[in-house]
Amino acid sequence: MSFFNSIFSTAAPTQTGLQTVEKLCDRLEHSTLLEDRRNAVRSLKSLAKEYQADVGRLGLHLLLHVLENDSTDADITRFALETLIALCTSKPSQAANTTAAGAPADDDLGLRFTEAFIQMNDTVSLLLSLLAENDFYVRYTTVQLLTLLLTNRSDQLQNCILAAPMGISRLMDLLKDSRESIRNEALLLLVQLTRSNQAIQKIVTFENAFELLLDIMEEEGFAEGGIIVQDCLHLMSNLLRKNVTNQNYFRETSCVPRLVPFLRSLSPSHASASAPPAASHHNNGSSHHHHQHQHHGHEGHGHSHDGDDDHESHGHSHAGGHGGGDAQTPQPAHWTEQKTANAVLGLQLIRILVPPNNTSIVITQKTMLQHGIIALLAEIALFEDLPPRVKCEALSTAAEVIRGLPASQDAFAQCRVSVNGAIVATPLALLFAMLEPRRAFAERSAALYLFQSLVLNNEDMQTAVASTLPGNSIPFMPARAAAGRGQSSALGSGIHPSSSSNNLIATAGLGSGGVTLVAHVQGAGELLANGLFNAQDPLANWLCSIALGSVITNSTVAKDMALSSHISARLGEKPLSLMSQCTNAMTQVSGTGALSRSSVSSPSAASSDPSSTPRTLVGLLRLLCSWLADSPAAVRTFLHSTYNLPFLVELLEQHHSTSTGAVSVVIQGMAALLLGLCFAHNDVAESTFNRASIRLTIQNRINLETFNGYIANLGRCEYFTKAASNTSFSSTKPGDVWFDYEFTVLFKRASVAIERALDPAYEHLQTLPQAPSAPQGYALPYQNFGQNPGVASSPQQQGQPSPMPPQQQPQQQHQQQQQQYQQPLTPVQQSTQQPYSPTPQASAQVADHSADHALVLQNFKDLIRKQDSEIAQLRAAVSQRDSEIATLTTQVQASKQSTPTLPSQGEVSALQTLTTLQQEHDSLKADHEALLGILAEYDDTKAKYRQRILDLGGEVTDEEEEDDGESEQ
Amino acid sequence: MAGYSYLFKYIIIGDTGVGKSCLLLQFTDKRFQPVHDLTIGVEFGARMITIDNKQLKLQIWDTAGQESFRSITRSYYRGAAGALLVYDITRRDTFLHLTNWLSDARQHSNTNMVIMLIGNKSDLDARRQVSYEEGEQFAAEHGLIFMETSAKTAANVEDAFIGTAKQIYQKIQQGIFDLSNEANGIKVGPQHAGSGVVPVGRGETGGDGGNPNAGGGCC
């Protein structure tokens, strides 16, 4: 002790500090007395913070030596460990560093010593072996040091621990330590250890981590259980995120039902009648929590930083909740910050188990359904008095738990919750939450996400909701009960419910075969329609547009129901069709100048959100895109009002000329998409708005390239790519969100269809008035044929004799061209490969039907002739390949017999050639078959036309009969 | 029914390409996948079986055979009650490496771990490089149970997994295992213990539910 005192009597300037450190290190190195060494380490420890550089530089290896040789003495071991902790800790700010020592300030000493310490021989094994010591402080400080090293040099430490025999087992044993402080420190250590390392995550799982953690959570009282529960949830999230093996483990070892009591601890009914066992556990543990808070204080930073990206957004939503709705919804009394954090993490954990757009999650979704998790989530998500962060998370969690699985969706719809004291069905409560203007954007958009997930790939649910639209005259007929399920979801983007395995739950969940479904959604259509045209709340317009868009997506019946819906915009006004109301509203919001942002005159200034006026327009455009896609009936209705098409063109030009802002890109792109859909799914006969005239508009008035540019720009803009990357709404700021995920799916499909429809090469396939839905069906193989360079070029490359004289093709084309110029132009004639430049006369002369048919027939014959020759070429190529393959195969077999061991160089290349040839052969065969398919369809159409020509009194000549005979061969 | 009397942890070890993952798939999903992705690290499967009218849950950890994963594989030895040591009867080298595998296993596992030696791919008899007798003899020398299986035809696959379970079960009956220590890969189930901690009636989706993501996620 006298030695110790002497240091401090003289230790004023830096130089003396260094000298003292030197003296202490010397003593530590050379003293033979344990007590001297122990005192030296204790003194070094007290200097390590202030003279970090000197103590580290001179003492690091000596401290390691202590751990190696003096580990029988608990005190010196503990002091050495504590000194190491001080050395490896990074100073919070560099400013403090510069004043203390003359050491280079820009160098992080903590990281440098961490690195140096790890690189010394076997340090990690040494530390792991210290864990065998039962002394509290040795074990406790060892865990802390390991956590610190892991935080500083994650990858290196993870690898060292993986390599050490029984390394992870030892760390896992700490969770079973009866001393809670050690167990709690071990939790923090494991959180660091399991970060983004799948191998470690699996071993930790193998060592029963989930079972142990769930036990601890139960002991601590679930969501009420303080920061220890937060650590447990954090660790479990680490183990499960993006780790499919562990997700399977979690499901297969009955961990899912153990989440039920956790959710129950969040549910409002629990709060009112707090379950006695949980409460007693809570009391039991709480004293320890307080004890632990200091230890967590340091790591607390880690918690808020190292979670996932959602954290920031929660910050927003939280703030939003306070700013917007604090007066109405103060932070509920029983919701402490800690409980809120636990709740959010627990809900996120459930979401990790059911990542959207992943077919393998269906089993997990079903397990959750079986254990009543859906009802619990419904109760939590739709409870009004919740912290906004929890509410948002619960809505999104419920969405992903039921998403795309009809049995779960039905189960959710069957739940009843209390809203303002009244008991209502969940779908309605959900819409109330979405339409509540005082709620923050994050909550309202999360409610929308849940609503979309409720109807996704569930045509019965979709039609049930659509049937409640005001004035709808089409009765709801559940398809599922009669015809099983699956047909409706074939087009779906997300999960396809596997028809075989669903039945069990489907029948259980939906007692009366779907008839009752409509009872659960009664009133939904009305709410949606009201929200759609509520002039006070542009955000509601947008939310309802998207919700209704999801209701009718991919469902002809639901679209028809929407078409038959009539409502009056204001009380007492004459009801108009829903579609007319939509287009009227669009015209209104985009009325003079309203779109050029500066002059926005939001009538009631319902929100200060500058995005409010374009928001209504974007929403309505989005709704119409869902509506018109694949629906000639909707296109017809839309175009029936002669103002609509010019309006779209106006939208394009207006924005083209006024601004180049990001929202402008959005509106242009959506208007172009809608215009494209009017073209692609058009079966209008009248000349005003048929395909030909719309094509003219696109090509002449807008310019095809500009038009395609609008659509491409939309697909490239940040709003779009962000929405496409995540099924839920990732931002909580309304200005950042213009699209929902489902729209991005629709967009991708629609833009391909539009591009194909506009391509002159396919026009002939699509102008068939008789088969409006056919084009997609057979345009696809034809496209493959046309675009496969291997097919197109290989005959020439191989120098093969074409079965048809080469000059014949140009001749044919020439003939076609002549015809084109001689005859009046019709839409059909655009089929020729020549670029088509339309003239005003052309579109005016579409009317004469019999001439039309003759032309159609002529065109088809030309086309068939041409394709016949192509097929013949392909056939020749195929047979050529066949013979080549045959020779190669015999060669290979021969060489195999001669050299049975290693294949020679030549043989390898021959094999390679053979494989490529076989592949080519296969693709040729496929093309061939596709072409035959197309031919068959042509024949059908031709027969139909001939019949019609005959009906019309035309003549079919023998030569034409002959043609038919040929093409049928 | 729901719940189980005991849970046994297994590991499957052996050279790469001997059919470890296929054995697991055949046992849990009753199907054969001729082209299987290389196992990265470790994969997981589970199935319920019945022995002596008792429900037993098998929790099976399928390891990667390559040398580079050896240190990871070692972490699984200690906590396993049973090991399936697999070689390929059409590749002699996989048989010759058994000694290494065995010493590794013995060194890192608990002493009571039941090891079954499995000569896989018995359907490819024409290409056989290791005779049945050789396998049998190796097993006898090292005190292992022996069986030839085919993950393709499913021959003996059930017997291999269930036979191992029977051995472990026997050892439990004889009181060889300390059941309070879960580190030996045996867990007393809720059905057996009858404790109220875990709610009875928790459903199992069971191994027949399929394990469509055997490929594993990415980091």
Residues from chain A contacting residue B182 (CB–CB below 8 Å) = 208
Lowest-confidence pick of A4-8, A727-731, B116-120: A4-8
Residues from chain B contacting residue A203 (CB–CB below 8 Å) = 42, 72, 75-76
Confidence of residue A896 (pLDDT cuts 50, 70, 90): low
A vs B, Cβ pairs < 8 A, gives 99
pLDDT of residue A497 exceeding 60, the answer is no
Lowest-confidence pick of A235-239, A723-727, A875-879, A902-906: A902-906
Question: Cβ A252–B183 below 8 Å, yes or no?
Answer: no
pLDDT of residue A256 exceeding 50, the answer is yes
Question: Cβ B44–A163 below 8 Å, yes or no?
Answer: no
Give this prediction's pTM: 0.73
Q: For an interface test with A, which of B7, B49, B186, B205 has the most A Cβ atoms less than 10 Å from its Cβ? A: B205
CATH of the domain at B176: 3.40.50.300
Residue B212 within any structural domain of the chain:
no
Q: How much of chain A exceeds pLDDT 90, in percent?
A: 50
pLDDT of residue A94 exceeding 60, the answer is no
Predicted complex ipTM:
0.86
Residue B219 within any structural domain of the chain:
no
Residue B202 within any structural domain of the chain:
no
Domain A197-319+333-353 coded CATH 1.25.10.10 = yes
Confidence of residue B128 (pLDDT cuts 50, 70, 90): very high
pLDDT digits (tens, 9 = 90+) for A563-617: 999 998 777 788 999 999 999 999 888 763 444 333 333 343 334 444 556 889 9
Does residue A832 sit at the B interface (CB-CB below 8 Å)? no
d(CA B174, CA A57): 59
Does residue B46 sit at the A interface (CB-CB below 8 Å)? yes
d(CA A715, CA A724): 9
Domains in chain B: how many in total?
1
What's the mean pLDDT in A102-106? 46
Contacting residues for A825 by C-beta, under 8 A, at least 6 apart:
A838, A839, A841, A842, A845
pLDDT of residue A768 exceeding 70, the answer is no
Confidence of residue A730 (pLDDT cuts 50, 70, 90): confident
Question: Cβ B209–A363 below 8 Å, yes or no?
Answer: yes
pLDDT of residue A513 exceeding 70, the answer is no
Neighbours of A94 (CB within 10 A): 13
For A248, the closest of B7, B71, B213 (CB atoms) is: B213
Residues from chain B contacting residue A217 (CB–CB below 8 Å) = none
Instruction: Give the SS3 label for residue B80.
Output: coil
Mind telling me how many Å the CA of A503 is from chain B's nearest CA?
14
Question: Cβ A252–B108 below 8 Å, yes or no?
Answer: no
What's the mean pLDDT in A74-93? 92
d(CA B168, CA B173): 9
Confidence of residue A295 (pLDDT cuts 50, 70, 90): very low
pLDDT digits (tens, 9 = 90+) for A345-380: 999 999 999 999 888 899 999 999 999 999 999 999
pLDDT digits (tens, 9 = 90+) for A305-343: 333 333 333 333 333 333 333 334 445 667 899 999 999
Contacting residues for A210 by C-beta, under 8 A, at least 6 apart:
A236, A239, A249, A250, A253, A255
Nearest Cα residue in chain B from A502: B209
pLDDT at A895: 65
Nearest Cα residue in chain B from A364: B205
Residue B122 within any structural domain of the chain:
yes
Domain ranges of chain A: 1-95+104-118, 197-319+333-353, 362-567, 844-896+904-968
In the beta sheet, which residues pair with residue B57? B7, B48
The more confidently predicted of residues A824 and A436 is: A436
pLDDT of residue A801 exceeding 80, the answer is no
Q: Residue A220 in contact with residue A346, Cβ under 8 Å? A: no
Q: Which helix (H) or strand (E) holds A253?
A: none
Mind telling me how many Å the CA of B202 is from chain A's nearest CA?
6
Burial class for B38, CB neighbours closer than 10 Å (0-12, 13-18, 19+): exposed
Tokens of B150: 């085919």
pLDDT of residue A789 exceeding 70, the answer is no
d(CA A469, CA A523): 8
Mean pLDDT of chain A: 77
Mind telling me how many Å the CA of A520 is from chain B's nearest CA?
28
pLDDT of residue A80 exceeding 90, the answer is yes
Nearest Cα residue in chain B from A250: B44
Instruction: Give the SS3 label for residue A590.
Output: coil
For B212, the closest of A162, A242, A359 (CB atoms) is: A359
Residues from chain A contacting residue B196 (CB–CB below 8 Å) = none
DSSP secondary structure code for residue A825 in this structure: P
What interhelical angle do A644-658 and A578-589 show, nearest 10? 30
Helices (H), A382-497: 388-402, 406-414, 426-435, 441-455, 459-467, 479-483
Mean pLDDT of chain B: 86
pLDDT at A491: 34
Instruction: Give the SS3 label for residue A575.
Output: coil
Residue B205 within any structural domain of the chain:
no
Residues from chain A contacting residue B202 (CB–CB below 8 Å) = 254, 257, 371
Residues from chain A contacting residue B41 (CB–CB below 8 Å) = 198-199, 202
d(CA A48, CA A56): 8
Residue B1 within any structural domain of the chain:
no
Confidence of residue A199 (pLDDT cuts 50, 70, 90): very high
Question: Cβ A254–B59 below 8 Å, yes or no?
Answer: no
Question: Cβ B76–A254 below 8 Å, yes or no?
Answer: no
Does residue A195 sit at the B interface (CB-CB below 8 Å)? no
pLDDT at A718: 92
